[in-house]
Structure 1
Amino acid sequence: MNYISVLTEAGLDFETQIKGIAEPDLNEMCQAQNVTHLPETYKQFMLQCGRGAGLYARDSDFTFPRVCNLKNELERELATEGIALPDNAFVFAAYQGYQYKYFICDENEDPAVFLVMFTDEETSPTLVNVTLSQELLEGISQYKSAFYES
């Protein structure tokens, strides 16, 4: 998928440059989060937008190299709740230190997305989207609405 075109068509292609990462950066992310395989959907997004995606998710941590530390952060927080993250989880986004999104790195090239939200109530992973591509497209649509339809 051409995420740059999707962001441009949504009018989110300014203020912050849309800039991707390089293949070696993908390897660094795998090593940092101790996974052996990243899904193709995520690789394509990061190769196109891994250092910046215009107005999309500018208030979230998802860019390289910041994404490298997200799994360790989430694991530390979950440990205080007595919850373990799956070993093959890859934490790809965080919002203000209390919301984290991850997917499972298996052979699925467009995996489901899970959310962990730390609130006063129960903290547990919740399925939020059946595919990563759907999660990304819905997120872009939400940011477009926030900037142009409010």
Structure 2
Amino acid sequence: MNPGDFQIAIVENGLATAEELIGITSSDIENLEKLFSVQLPDSYKSFLLFCENNMEMLGSTPILYYPEIINLRDSFDNLIEDELKITTPENSFIFYSFDELIFDFFICNGNPDPVMYRVVEGKNNIESRGSTFTDYFFRLIETCDKSKSNDAFKYY
């Protein structure tokens, strides 16, 4: 995967123009890695660098973009503490939430394009999504309804 592939896919699917897509800085990525004591995978870093600050185009409810992702770990930990009897693997990075009921994450283990996992409120297990971050992201783009200005994201 080339770093700009995420940007190209968003533009080709009519979700934004290249000019509208703004990534975060390398410094922001380093700060995320320090804050969570992880080495983020290359595929996720590419996503962050090229289009992270504009991910609200995927809808108004999902939390997928910076800096909002910083608070996801706390929300997730509260869900686990209050309701679920599971633990996430060491070095897991929560990068997505839907209404703080569904949390998606990957494990920062040196894999440049890691497998995705999901935890859903009310279920006491961790589901493997069976796809890599790159596959996951492209499915998100493909499920967006470009005709709607709000809530364009169709959850897959």
Question: Which bracket does the TM-score occupy, shorter chain normalised?
Answer: 0.7 to 0.9
Structure 1 runs of 4+ aligned residues shifted over 4 Å read none
**CA shift for structure 1 position 99:** 0.8
For residue 23 of structure 1, the aligned residue among 21, 26, 29 is 26
Q: Is the 8 A contact 1:29 1:67 kept in 2?
A: no
Q: For 2:58, what is the secondary structure of its paired residue?
A: coil
1:131 is the counterpart of 2:124? no
What number of residue pairs does the alignment pair up? 142
Q: Is the 8 A contact 1:75 1:84 kept in 2?
A: no
Aligned to 2:146: 147
**CA shift for structure 1 position 31:** 2.5
Q: Quick one: which amino acid aligns to residue 128 of structure 1?
A: R
Aligned to 1:47: 49
In structure 2, do the counterparts of structure 1 residues 88 and 136 end up closer, same or farther at CA, with 3 Å as the change threshold? same
Aligned to 1:70: 72
After superposition, residues 97-136 of structure 1 pair within 5 angstroms as 97-119=100-122, 122-136=123-137
What TM-score, normalized by structure 1, do the two folds share?
0.85
Return 5+ residue gaps in structure 1 as ranges. Answer: none
Deviates more, 1:101-110 or 1:63-72: 63-72
Aligned CA RMSD, in angstroms, stands at 1.9
Return 5+ residue gaps in structure 2 as ranges. Answer: 148-156
For residue 88 of structure 1, the aligned residue among 87, 91, 106 is 91
In structure 2, do the counterparts of structure 1 residues 129 and 18 end up closer, same or farther at CA, with 3 Å as the change threshold? farther
Q: Is the 8 A contact 1:20 1:49 kept in 2?
A: yes
**CA shift for structure 1 position 93:** 0.7
Q: For 1:130, what is the secondary structure of its paired residue?
A: strand
**CA shift for structure 1 position 130:** 2.2
Aligned to 1:34: 37
In structure 2, do the counterparts of structure 1 residues 18 and 129 end up closer, same or farther at CA, with 3 Å as the change threshold? farther
What TM-score, normalized by structure 2, do the two folds share?
0.82
**CA shift for structure 1 position 58:** 4.3
